[in-house]
Homo-oligomer: A and B are copies of this chain.
Amino acid sequence: MTSFPDLSLLVEPRNIALVGASSRQGSPGRQLFDNLVRHSRLAGSVFPVNPACAQIDELPCWPSVEALPDTVIDVAVVIVSARHVLSTLQQCAARRIPFAIVLSSGFAEVGEEGARLEEDIADLCRTSGLRVYGPNCPGLVNVRDRLGLCFSPAYKDDLHSGSIGLVTQGGGLGRNLLQGLSHGEGVGLWFSSGNETDLQAADFIAYLAQDPRTRVIALLMEGIKDGRRLVAALALAQRHKKPVVVLKVGRSQAGVQAAQSHTASVSGSAAINSAVFRQFGAIEVDDLDQLVAAASMLSRPAPAPGAGLCILSFSGGAAALAADAAGVAQVPMAMFRPATLDALRAELPSFATLGNPVDLTADVLRTPEVLARCLDIVCMDPGVGAVLFPIPMDYGQTTADMAQAVADAASRTDKLIIPAWLSRRLGPGFTILEERGLLPFASTTAAIDTLAKCFMRQASEPQRPQACASTHADAEPAPPSLTTMLSEASAKQLLQSEGFPVPLRRLAHSAEEAERFADVIGCPVAMKIVSAQILHKTEVGGVRLGIASAEQAAQAYRDIWASAGSKAPQAQLDGVLVEQMAPAGRPEVLIGVRRDPSYGHVITFGIGGVLVEVLKDVVHRLLPLTPEEARRMVREIRLFDILRGVRGQPAADLAALEELLCQISDFVLQHAETLDELEFNPVWVGAEGQGVRVLDALLGFRAGSIEATAL
């Protein structure tokens, strides 16, 4: 089990030595001195060290660490030039000072010589027990106790404290996060670990995990020095139930370190980092604004399990956009209890929409007190965990009054009130929300994505693409009432007469016929039940592939007939198709056409078989298709590499496939009035020069049309 150092004396020191303190205005040594002596609250004393000064302001200055008076010093802050750092640290170790913060730069970041200096420091730490923070770091800021062990002139401007613990490596972006969290819940401790010669980000995470004044840990990671320690620290945070949110810089460098094995080539270090964060419960975000928003949201009480989102707006459009974003992010919408609906009904005009989203109507612009009461009403509903209030436009004072009502309502409830200020015009209402700590989001998408990441998603459930949510209704889909579906045999007969590539086949009406036809066509054959009422033949045991002999064909006939008869007793069975097999090992695709009520005929293309169900990897086009469009759509699917040929497989006959798409387009155009539906699935795709074959086909024509009755 990894152990972590106790950093209490580093974080809350009494006496502090300032090695390299200076009286020269504008120098980092002066700024450090001012931050500590002028702008901090000290528990003990400050001991400036600088051989060139006798005193700085009212404080006596000491020539060296060795020369310091005989008192207990908890932390030495070091800002001398790089070449003097090691000797300074040696003196610190000799004095048994437990911690040194090295702000100086000029180490590994500038080259070999600097890296060697760091090795010497690391050796000193190992042998002496001194713990070093840095070097090349902006320092440590204990905001909550107001202690600035840093030289940033901005230190004194960012002292809004709170329960968020922040760990960064470089310094610049940490300032961004402090500015972002300067309203609402603030940052209590900010560690910025610099080159991590000794103490690492993991040590600070572990400290924050065990620190009773920290509730949320926010990380901005550039490199990961020791993955195992990081994992141990994240696990510790998990055990202490401290949420961790992390932004990892360097995600797009994935796979740059060439990987040796096949497994490695699909891993990539960014993917592994993300997997680790996920495995150990850290929430990964993609940008600074998301890090601020998530840290802020996580510092508030979590919604009760099972509670959903309520969307409240005075703009129907904004409410619809927010509902869209919730649908995409799979954030559950709250179901109101009847009392909530009754209470809303009493407040709102008759034309308001009382479902969820609630459209308060623009009337509420004139009556912020109604808005306030409606917020109270929905917050009292136990089914509501969070309330999103999008504000799509700024109307000056009117919107300011509204913002005031939202902020007041937020202060009366434990529920998450999430305002989204959607206009670029940042009127006084925006300032009110910001200053009251509600950190309004700039879009409903951002608000809902943050909510989804922080709270409202089932962490232990597999995250699958949103499109999968609506997957199959297992029941047989009913054909539209006015469409006649042709049986496979009839469809293929029609397609053959139109010049489509369909396999050699015969329709058998008895086991004897099946046996004879199998012989004529040549084994192996495929056999399939034929019935206009059975769209998915596999599911009724109506398909047998790879039948190797005429004798087996006879038996297959009997099996198929019995199985389909028992599993689809209502279907009229027309026979069993005996059909030439396409050579195995080639990809299969799906091509479908349906009549969209608004656009007319739309063609769909994708890799066929089971993958279409699972991946939804399909592309669409309106008909008619140009050859160029056919070419593009084939290349647009995610799985195109399957057709292009991977791992030594020959490339598919793309020309034949594109021609088939165009042929379908022409066919549909020719039957535009009557064709309702077409599905070729699977279409076998041979290697270059081998063509394509329509192995199964469904055609649906308008009932009563010539095509529907002729066959």
Contacts and interface: CB of A to CB of B under 8 A. Distances in A.
Interface of A: 110, 154, 170, 172-173, 175-176, 179-180, 182-183, 220, 222, 224-228, 231, 247, 249-255, 258-269, 271-272, 275-276, 279, 286-290, 292, 315-318, 320-321, 323-328, 351, 362, 392-395, 422-426, 434, 439, 442-446, 460, 462-468, 470-473, 477-480, 483, 535-536, 538-539, 590, 592-594, 596, 598-600, 602, 604, 606, 610-616, 618-622, 629, 632, 635-642, 646-649, 677, 679, 681, 698, 700
Given A255-B470, A260-B478, 9 more contacts: A179-B424, A183-B424, A249-B324, A261-B677, A265-B470, A266-B616, A462-B637, A464-B638, A611-B611
B176 A287 contact: no
B262 A592 contact: yes
Contacts of A426: 426
Contacts of A222: 317, 320
Nearest to A274: B620
B266 A612 contact: yes
Main secondary structure of the interface of A (DSSP, over half): mixed
Given A598-B224, A621-B275, A327 B615 contact: no
Best-surrounded residue of A252, A325, A326, A700 (most CB of chain B within 10 A): A252
Nearest to A440: B424
A632 B460 contact: yes
Nearest to A464: B638
Contact of A182 (B183, B425, B615, B637): B425
Contact of A261 (B228, B249, B679): B679
A393 B171 CA distance: 11
Given A261-B677, A263-B590, A263-B592, A287 B463 contact: no
Contacts of A253: 324, 327
A41 to B, nearest CB: 24
B679 A262 contact: yes
Contacts of A262: 477, 535-536, 590, 592, 612, 679, 681
A12 to B, nearest CB: 27
A292 B423 CA distance: 10
B170 A316 contact: yes
Contact of A272 (B179, B231, B288, B596): B596
A473 to B, nearest CB: 8
Q: 9 shortest A-B CB distances, which residue pairs?
A: A252-B327, A263-B592, A227-B598, A227-B599, A275-B620, A539-B648, A172-B315, A173-B317, A614-B641
